[in-house]
Amino acid sequence: MELTRSQKEIQKAAQEFAKGEFDKEVTVELEQSRSYPAELLQKAAELGFVGLQFAEEYGGGGLGLVDACLVAEALCRKDSTMGSAVVLAAFGAECLHRFGDKKMKEQYLEQVTAGKMLAGIALGESDRGDDFTVLDTTATRSDNEWIINGKKRYVTNGGAAGFYLVLCRTEAKHAENSGVALILVEPDRPGITVADLGDKLALNSVALADITFADVRVPLTNLVGKEGQGLAQARAFLDEVKILAAARAVGIAAGAFDRALAYVKQREQFERKLAQFQITRHKIADMATKIELARLITYRAAADFDKGKADPTLSAMAKMTAARMAVEVADEAIQLFGGYGYMTEQEVERYYRDAKTIELCLGTRESQKDRIADLVIGKLK
């Protein structure tokens, strides 16, 4: 796969931005104080790094998912945590962009792409991020309003987002989950309670919360897309953002690898550079190979998506493979650093934690396999 000239330029711009703006000490401070890097997001947005795949009329880049992946990879490579925070600013906006109406998009997407607003999407109701078999949140029609009741779990940017797309049941429970819709809820509506989930394994600068909706009223026009299509829309959204998550994982792995590579070329023990031990050399070879494999499948998934041939199987494969690979590569990077690898100062331990959270969100390995198997095996006679 060959990048176009404009893609190469975007990649380079993202690398330069990350090099100039990311500072590991600031990251550690933000992580400790659990504060979102608002200024950084603003700067990233000014350079067009937020919503690259959104239409230009909403402040987006009018580009594709490949471009968005290139930026995600470059940012996470330089700083896994800040890179992730910037990418996740728009988490949920992808769904609004695809299924929302013009008015909603004008009102919200422009602010998201300007780095002035965080997006929010509230889908799951269990520990498992892509399991919608538990779906008890209801939206009942009353005159010209929806009345929403229920509890959503693990909402990224929960408590900080400018809107939430909430997956609700609009009809009694059907086997096929057909009576489901996505409804946009403004965060200042009465009846919303946000419960922050506290300290996390990683990504503490990005909020994560459970949100309870108690008789929350929004206009009927807040319906996103079509009634009855909520589940399909949510799945399509996940299929898209899984590719972005895979790109983040590739960046995280590459960043951990960069650091480990530089270290083994410089550190000496037993009067030799670590890079002179055969075991170290083979580790480096394994890491490089894994990253390349994950990168290939990730960009293949993104390119197909941009060609209008989005393939849910490939999305799940890319997310599963890239996240696993990132955990393994970052883990090995820690090992190559020895005791230093366990220290905050050397960053790779944070890369490892960040990688693991990608594996845990948007459905674990088992969920991805369930999805891939469904699609590959199909219906049995």
Partner 1 sequence: MQLLSYTEDHHRFRARLRKFLAEEVTPHVDQWEKEHIIPRAVWQKMGRAGFICPALPKEYGGGGGDFLHAVIVIEEIARTNHSGLATPLHSDIVVPYLESYATEELKRKYLPGCACGDIITAVAMTEPNAGSDLASMQTTAEEDGGEIVLNGSKTFITNGINCDLVVVAAKDPRAAEAHQALSLYLVEAGTPGFSRGRRLEKMGYHSQDTAELFFNNCRIPKSNRLGAAGTGFYMLMEKLQQERLVVAVMAVAAAEGILEQAMRYCRETMGPKGPLNRSQALAFALVEMSTEVKIGRTFLDKLIVEHMAGSRIIVETSMAKYWTSEMAKRIADRALDLFSQAGALEKTPIVRTFRDVRVMSIFAGTNEIMKGIIAKMKIN
Ligand X SMILES: Cc1cc2nc3c(=O)[nH]c(=O)nc-3n(C[C@H](O)[C@H](O)[C@H](O)COP(=O)(O)OP(=O)(O)OC[C@H]3O[C@@H](n4cnc5c(N)ncnc54)[C@H](O)[C@@H]3O)c2cc1C
Residues that bind ligand X (CB under 6 A): 267, 269-270, 274, 277, 279-280, 335-336, 338-340, 342
Q: What six digits make up the tokens of 110?
A: 């422009």
Q: Residue 206 binds which entry of ligand X, partner 1, none, with Cβ cut-offs from 5 to 8 Å by kind?
A: none
- In the numeric block, the tokens 């989950």 are attached to 177
Q: Residue 182 binds which entry of partner 1, ligand X, none, with Cβ cut-offs from 5 to 8 Å by kind?
A: none
Give whole-number Cα distances, 80 to 36, 205, 245, 316, 322, in Å: 14, 12, 12, 21, 14
SS3 label, residue 152? strand
- In the bound state with partner 1, the residue whose beta carbon lies nearer, of 62 and 338, is 338
DSSP code, position 106: I
- In the bound state with partner 1, the residue whose beta carbon lies nearer, of 90 and 155, is 155
Amino acid at 165: L
- In the bound state with partner 1, the residue whose beta carbon lies nearer, of 54 and 132, is 132
Minimum CB separation from ligand X for residue 333, in Å? Answer: 10
DSSP code, position 109: I
Q: Residue 127 binds which entry of partner 1, ligand X, none, with Cβ cut-offs from 5 to 8 Å by kind?
A: partner 1
Q: Residue 43 binds which entry of ligand X, partner 1, none, with Cβ cut-offs from 5 to 8 Å by kind?
A: none
Minimum CB separation from partner 1 for residue 337, in Å? Answer: 9
Binding site for partner 1 (CB under 8 A): 28, 126-129, 131, 133-134, 153-154, 197-203, 208, 268-271, 277, 279, 327, 331, 334-335, 338-339, 341-345, 349-350, 352-353, 356-357, 359-361, 364-366, 369
| Beta strands at 208-219 and 192-196: parallel, antiparallel or unpaired | antiparallel
Contacts of 16 (CB under 8 A, 6+ apart): none
Please tell me the distance from the alpha carbon of residue 74 to that of residue 93, in angstroms, as a whole number: 21
Q: What are phi and psi of 206, to 5 degrees?
A: -105, 130
Amino acid at 317: M
Give 268: exposed, middle or buried? Use CB within 10 Å, 0-12, 13-18, 19+. Answer: exposed
Minimum CB separation from partner 1 for residue 282, in Å? Answer: 11
- In the bound state with ligand X, the residue whose beta carbon lies nearer, of 185 and 264, is 264
Contacts of 77 (CB under 8 A, 6+ apart): 15, 18, 83, 251, 252, 254, 255, 258
Amino acid at 12: K
- In the bound state with ligand X, the residue whose beta carbon lies nearer, of 19 and 282, is 282
Q: Residue 129 binds which entry of partner 1, ligand X, none, with Cβ cut-offs from 5 to 8 Å by kind?
A: partner 1
| Beta strands at 272-273 and 268-269: parallel, antiparallel or unpaired | antiparallel
- In the bound state with partner 1, the residue whose beta carbon lies nearer, of 46 and 127, is 127
Minimum CB separation from partner 1 for residue 331, in Å? Answer: 8
Q: What six digits make up the tokens of 95?
A: 């769904």
Q: Residue 220 binds which entry of partner 1, ligand X, none, with Cβ cut-offs from 5 to 8 Å by kind?
A: none
Minimum CB separation from partner 1 for residue 339, in Å? Answer: 5
- In the bound state with ligand X, the residue whose beta carbon lies nearer, of 33 and 270, is 270
